Chains A and B, each alone.
Chain A
Amino acid sequence: MSILETHNLKKYYGQQDNLVKALDGVSIKVNENEFIAIVGTSGSGKSTLLNMIGGLDRPTEGNVIVAGNDIFKMSDEELTVFRRRNVGFVFQNYNLVPILNVYENIVLPIELDGTKPDKDYIDSIIKTLGLESKITSMPSNLSGGQQQRVAIARALATKPSIILADEPTGNLDSKTGMDVLGLMKLTSQKFNQTMVMITHNEEIAQLADRIIHIEDGKVVN
């Protein structure tokens, strides 16, 4: 059963001479519990595709169906709420809130929703990611790897059905990268989550169930 579908997704920037076709008709299907890797060279449209799937950006044409919902038919307000409850995003540049400490960052999406965090669950994530000693630290005091782990913890905290990761190991050294990846695969299997990850590292791509190649805004086989 497909939990995620895109139909003829297009994203164009500019006009006429300056027209940039970031996505030029992308249609994909992702099933529940799958681990998908999206691969492509820089400028191929990978990040744009991921942003579309996550509802962070609106397409010029086409639609995205997540768990049966056409997300771009929702209002800005509804979409934001939907996203924070159902999608966990891990960014390449972590995107932690600099004025909150580690723990506050992790539970932020939950608190924005107004629900109480599941303390045990959160603690188990923190433990799994090895962040116990750093819960009250500020992001600026953490190394790249630690920050990325916080970002992952945040993505996992709301128990989303889909996790989207944009080059999660791009800023990490190879060992840390492998550790993080192992963790992500572990948790997604443990909690029955679907994972879509962008990478241009062939090694990492091999870990996925399926690889989707993107080139010049289109899916290639």
Chain B
Amino acid sequence: MRLKNNNEEVIKRLTRKILFTNRTRNIIALIAIILTTYMITTVFSICVSFVKNYNTLWLRVQGTTSSISLPNPSTEQMDLLKKENFKSVGYEIYAGSLISPELTKKNISITLIYSDKANFYKQQIPAYSDVTGHYPKVENEIMASYRSLEKLGITHPKLGMEINLKYKNRFGEFTDTFKLTGIYKDYTASSSVIYVSEAFINKSGLSLEQDGSAIMAVSNFNRDAVTKHLTTDFPLKENQEFSFSYDLTSQNTSTAIIAAVVIIIISLFIVFSGYLLIYNVLYISVTKDIHFYGLLKTIGTSPKQLRKIVRGQAAYLAKIGIPAGILLATATSFVIIPLALSSLGVNSYGNISMPVKIYFHPVIYIGAILFALLAVLMSCKKPASIAAKISPVEAIRFTGIKVKSKLKNNRNTTKSGKLHRMAFFNVFRDKKRAILVFTSLFLGITTYLCVFAMLDSLKVENFIKTYYPNDFKLTNLPPISQKFDNSFIDKIRSTPGVKNMHIQYITGIEADYNEEIFLPFINLELNSTSSNIDQDEKIR
């Protein structure tokens, strides 16, 4: 029966006093805690930045956040759509396409588009960068990307400059002078657009229902439910159909999830290593002070109180070490994160490189504090119970040497007096400590080697070696008749510098269509590639 009382004061005092008499131990423990926190914070920061940058990359590749469109919607349909469970609902109105001999020669098309606020700001802008100026307001204002302007021959665009454009829509061909009020950078490989104002649409006599499409973005969580709902319940006009383009986005989330899982595993690894490190420090410190704890117990300090004293010391050190580790990690993240992101190898898709922006998200700090605290708390459990369970008599009489160790059988040698032999045997005297130290070293070195090996192997050279083992490829394309004869091949082979040569033979065959054999392959092919072909087309 213990009274709830104010013996906390004396415990706190004892804790503080012991703490401050142990300077070396404190410094080492602090370094351990700071290091662990630092590593966890850095790993979390890299993870968060990676995921966010990766998302941005995919968004830019997509060109838009939207994935569903409905052509020629009526006003009633637009109202209905706004009530649905979409992330955003906007619309586009096709205003015409540019005519120009250069464009035609290069096989490029540029479309004039009007975007409403929802479509432009919620669905398009996230995929652009370096936006200057504003969306066209007045009839003759336009907004274009650097790429579109380059295609028109304008390499140094300036806001306010006047551009002459010839275009055609369903009403005919027109030429107008436009003022450039906005420029942005886009990343999609597909054809470019130039944005026009609402006034322009009205003047041209175009409308949403005749010339436009409703554009929707849906979140991944309810995507399937929404799709099902739209295809079955939504009232559509004759020949009107929803068009879905999901493939790219689903790939994006699964990659992000894999990245997150990998990072969490690495974090747990670091937590474990940190735990071992801090545990080691505390264990050694408690055994050094065991005389003191035993003395306290003799005087009447209960096991619970002794535990509090040990934990109190660890908590005090953690209070300093964890914030210090986080600050240090934040400071160095400006250098480390870009380095880590670029060396992770997944930094480009086609010509688009992943942005390297550093993100600070509360998750990083909350996660780091939690994991670091976890490591510290776990690692003081055992040392605390050692202090608590100490037999006072043992502690007073002896100084930390375990009495319980069974006396070893005689060692049949008289040579162990030598220093190096004594040192060797001393390592294994306390078996638990020996195992602990070896495990720590092993884990530390293994992690180090693994991480470096992994990072080192994510080189372009390795990628090329695996996927592009050849430096050159000479192909004889049909319908040109075969030019590669034996003398030609020998000439190539004997060219100085040619190390290896493989010859690949190709021919074509015509087989009768057999649905049983071929249809599965066709389906596989169609389902795996990203395509905007809807189901009926595929089957057809």
Contact = CB atoms under 8 A, between A and B. Distances in A.
Contact of B301 (A56, A58, A112, A114): A112
A93 B291 CA distance: 13
B9 A112 contact: no
Contacts of B297: 80
A194 B426 CA distance: 47
- Name which of B2, B17, B298, B304 has the most chain A CB atoms within 10 A of its CB: B298
A191 to B, nearest CB: 19
Contact of B302 (A56, A77, A91): A77
Given A18-B407, A95-B396, A99-B17, A113 B5 contact: yes
Dominant secondary structure at the B interface: helix
Contact of B7 (A51, A57, A112): A112
A97 B296 contact: yes
Nearest to B306: A80
B1 to A, nearest CB: 9
A80 B298 CA distance: 8
A85 B11 CA distance: 17
Contact of A56 (B21, B298, B407): B298
A99 B19 CA distance: 11
A80 B300 contact: yes
Contacts of B480: none
Nearest to B302: A80
B299 A97 contact: yes
Interface stretch (B110-118, B386-394, B530-538): B386-394
B439 to A, nearest CB: 30
Task: Classify chain A's interface size.
Answer: 20 to 34
A84 interface: yes
Given A80-B297, A80-B301, A56 B9 contact: no
B453 interface: no
A83 interface: yes
Interface residues of B, number: 32
Interface in A51-104: 51, 56-58, 76-77, 80-81, 83-85, 89, 91, 93, 95, 97, 99-100, 104
Interface in B297-316: 297-305
B517 interface: no
Contact of B300 (A58, A93, A99, A109): A109
A113 B393 CA distance: 21
- Name which of B296, B303, B392 has the most chain A CB atoms within 10 A of its CB: B392
A57 B305 contact: no
Given A111-B7, A113-B5, A95 B299 contact: yes
A76 B21 contact: no
Nearest to A82: B300
Contacts of B2: 81
A115 interface: yes
Given A113-B300, A114-B3, 8 more contacts: A57-B393, A77-B303, A80-B301, A81-B302, A84-B299, A93-B396, A109-B300, A112-B305
26 contacts: A51-B393, A56-B298, A58-B391, A76-B388, A76-B389, A83-B300, A84-B301, A89-B299, A91-B298, A93-B396, A95-B295, A95-B298, A97-B296, A97-B299, A99-B18, A99-B21, A108-B10, A108-B300, A109-B299, A112-B11, A112-B299, A112-B305, A113-B300, A114-B5, A114-B6, A114-B7
